[in-house]
Structure 1
């Protein structure tokens, strides 16, 4: 039988290394594989098992420290320890696994399709300017504005499909996803990575690369899904 730690601390995919590292660490904490008060595996060992750089691992640990899940201690007996008292979600912050899966599945189907469709159209100058403007707004957004600007960019991509019905459907699912996103902390490394992915998605759309746009959007959504599963499921 495979030890549970080995099953959780398996190599992550390269595309969303930070987000998946956070997800794996949160799974280990929430499932009690590393109980409150206990130390996580040594940094070098954990980075090797997850297949990530130590920089990525440190960013993930720092994010969980800021969110109140772990604490780092120096010295001979130091390391990263799970906090004795973990943040307790209020009842309205709990999400049933089927509800989370339903929202993420619907979003993946709609938004990857929208990116592909937008890239397959001959976009007019106004549509192209709108995409670039929304991308710039999101890239330069302050932390307290990020989710709103991020939503506006994703809706601009939907609008670029030329389908009112699809745009309305994506607006609906985005509302559902935003409720979930509001229940997890904003992690600056994730936002920086999201901005890089946004650049790629919009670039693929403007270049008319339908398959590339779909793949870039799928990878982007996978990263968000990893964080939501890690914190909420």
Structure 2
């Protein structure tokens, strides 16, 4: 017999309804960062639920990074500014369960970084150029110290470029995807026998990108970024996924 197929109805617990309503209020702007929710007692009255139900909802909201609730605080939980924590958790989980391959993550980094470089070349300030210079100087100094120090300086360079793009979503996604990629292969990079040579090569690439950004040549800065990212990561990506990365090269 034809017709629609229905799924069993899921029982929704009371605390989930509270979480949904608070999330909707934050998403709509009715609740803004820095504002406070009503007290536990007021929430109990408004939702007609027990104290334990309210506290369970607050635990979930806090775990999601949406509010901060202090034990014994007579005031209501405080709404927190947005952070990329939950986005990072979701994407990390996808990567861990093979929902996202390393090749896809690196390809996305190539897209993000090249776009950030193109925008930075056209929008950067003198102060941001100086920060990029400082980051590359720190990379040079870190070569003989160790990979962790080098990576920190490298991250500072890319963060400044992302900021210079002027796009908050590029900044957030760049930071999230980079942290996932490095988390997946950091041990392999640190253990590479030629890591000092790789670090020196990386510095040369960064200097070329910075020269293009300084000159205001967005297309060149973007092209160099994609090539640099490809050269640095392609050896860690399975052979079957490398054509997808090469497709971004000109």
> So what's the TM-score if we normalise by structure 2?
0.51
Is 2:233 aligned against 1:229? no
- 1:189 alignment partner, one of 177, 181, 197: 197
Is 2:139 aligned against 1:138? yes
Whole-Å separation in 1 of the counterparts to 2:213 and 2:137: 15
Whole-Å separation in 2 of the counterparts to 1:95 and 1:174: 18
Whole-Å separation in 2 of the counterparts to 1:159 and 1:98: 26
Backbone CA RMSD of aligned residues? 2.3
Conservation of the 8 A alpha-carbon contact between 1:201 and 1:213: yes
Please, which runs of 5 or more residues in structure 1 have no aligned partner? 1-93
Whole-Å separation in 1 of the counterparts to 2:188 and 2:238: 10
Whole-Å separation in 1 of the counterparts to 2:108 and 2:129: 26
SS in 1 for 2:117: helix
Is 2:128 aligned against 1:124? no
Please, which runs of 5 or more residues in structure 2 have no aligned partner? 1-95, 242-250
Post-superposition shift, 1:102? 1.8
- Specify whether residues 96 and 156 from structure 1 end up closer, same or farther in structure 2 by C-alpha distance, changes over 3 A only: same
Post-superposition shift, 1:181? 3.1
Deviations 1:4-38, CA, capped at 9 Å, x for gaps: xxxxxxxxxxxxxxxxxxxxxxxxxxxxxxxxxxx
Task: Give the number of the structure with larger relative contact order, counting CA–CA contacts within 8 Å between residues 6 or more apart.
Answer: 1
- 1:148 alignment partner, one of 128, 135, 152: 152
Conservation of the 8 A alpha-carbon contact between 2:131 and 2:157: no
**In structure 2, what is the equivalent of residue 202 of structure 1?**
210
Deviations 1:181-211, CA, capped at 9 Å, x for gaps: 3131331111111000000001110110111
SS in 1 for 2:212: helix
- Larger-gyration structure (1/2): 2
- 1:100 alignment partner, one of 99, 102, 111: 102
> So what's the TM-score if we normalise by structure 1?
0.54
Is 2:174 aligned against 1:174? no
